[in-house]
Amino acid sequence: MKAFIVNKYKSKDGGSIEQIPVPVPQPDEVLIEVYATAINLLDSKIRNGEFKLILPYKTPFVLGHDVAGIITKVGADVQQFKVGDEVYARPADHRIGTFAEFIAVNEADVAIKPKKLSMEEAASIPLVGLTALQALIEKGNLKKGQKVFIQAGSGGVGTFAIQLAKYLGATVATTTSAANVELVKSLGANIVIDYRKDDFEKVLHGYDLVLNSQDGKTLEKSLRVLKPGGKAISISGPPDPDFAEEIGAPWYIKLIMRLLSLGVRKKAKRLNVSFSFLFMKANGDQLKEITSLINSGIITPVIDKVFPFESIKEAMTYVESGRAKGKVVVKLK
């Protein structure tokens, strides 16, 4: 099968499409023929070695975190799925590899594809959908009537998170460029700040929750827009001690993560707010919840461009430029 392989971290060519064997599913796995996948900034960061501390992939490896396709084989112990099912998934860490014609995925990480979506639309959902759900609901406990600030509203996570927060009954503030103001308003944003003109810290006050996806400076400013007891959840770092415990990191990695997040945790404590890092996890049951929201018309995918598989490097470069509205998808079939 064809697959996009990273042979070396930070290599100048960035990876290449090569022929490799089709994976053989384990007893608890399904083999999915990949119809579409999506590009995430996480893919670029892994390729560049930025997550080697917490995700040390041994080269060569296949990139890719989102998949929509059809099951062609099921392992002996699989209960929930059969050959021919149209599914979508975010494979678990260390089992990624959706930039390929086939991938074997644990059935616990898979869900039936939403009926109303095309394969391309479905492939755009898993990583950003699970990130938004785990940040706003699982960690953030966002409730009706609360105020949430979602950064980069026109991005992949932002376009999904705004719709989810609106559904939960929250007042939603976001940042974007002037060109995308109407888009984020149409998704449900109540307060839209043009980040090129205005400073969100001067506009927003007394927020219950911040979903941070930007740099450290933006995170520090975000702490100051929270009310006492408010929560800042960051999907862009720095990793914190709780996360180190969660992944069972060795002692020296725990120490590094403690030091990396020390400054922001101290600032949060001084302001009487909390800080936590979220590295989203694969979860088929949560994907089923997302499916019902999509089938009910509550969440609509936002797709910027669809690239053919042969142009996957161009697709990654486009995502790295930060200009994409919503998700960038790669079509294999």
Q: Are strands 274-277 and 191-194 parallel, antiparallel or unpaired?
A: unpaired
Q: Are residues 112 and 221 in the same domain?
A: no
Q: Are residues 267 and 144 in the same domain?
A: yes
Q: What's the one-letter identity of residue 161? A: A
Q: Are residues 56 and 96 in the same domain?
A: yes
Q: Are strands 29-39 and 61-62 parallel, antiparallel or unpaired?
A: unpaired
Looking at the domain assignment, is residue 99 inside a domain? Answer: yes
Q: pTM for the complete prediction?
A: 0.97
Q: Are residues 200 and 116 in the same domain?
A: no
pLDDT confidence of residue 82: 98
Phi, psi of 88 (to 5 degrees): -145, 160
CATH number of the structural domain spanning residue 166: 3.40.50.720
| Contact between residue 75 and residue 105 where contact means Cβ atoms under 8 Å apart | no
Across 53-62, 69-78, 99-108, 186-195, least confident range: 53-62
How much of the chain exceeds pLDDT 90, in percent? 95
The alpha carbons of the chain give a radius of gyration, in whole angstroms, of 19
Q: Which domain holds residue 207?
A: 128-277
**Which of 262, 277, 292 corresponds to the end of one domain?**
277
CA atoms of 23 and 143, how far apart (whole Å):
43
Query: What are 106-140's pLDDT values in tens digits?
Result: 999 999 999 999 999 999 999 999 999 999 999 99
Q: Are residues 10 and 33 in the same domain?
A: yes
Query: What are 267-326's pLDDT values in tens digits?
Result: 999 999 999 999 999 999 999 999 999 999 999 999 999 999 999 999 999 999 988 999
Q: Is the pLDDT of residue 12 over 90?
A: no
Q: Quote the number of domains for the chain.
A: 2
Looking at the domain assignment, is residue 291 inside a domain? Answer: no
Q: Is the pLDDT of residue 11 over 90?
A: no
| Contact between residue 178 and residue 151 where contact means Cβ atoms under 8 Å apart | no
DSSP assignment string, 273-308: -EEEE------HHHHHHHHHHHHTTS----EEEEEE
The position carrying tokens 């450290």 is: 216
Looking at the domain assignment, is residue 296 inside a domain? Answer: no
The position carrying tokens 């790669």 is: 330
Q: Are residues 159 and 251 in the same domain?
A: yes
Q: Is the pLDDT of residue 154 over 90?
A: yes
Q: Are residues 94 and 114 in the same domain?
A: yes
Q: Are residues 118 and 160 in the same domain?
A: no
Query: What are 199-246's pLDDT values in tens digits?
Result: 999 999 999 999 999 999 999 999 999 999 999 999 999 999 999 999
Looking at the domain assignment, is residue 183 inside a domain? Answer: yes
Q: Are residues 102 and 227 in the same domain?
A: no
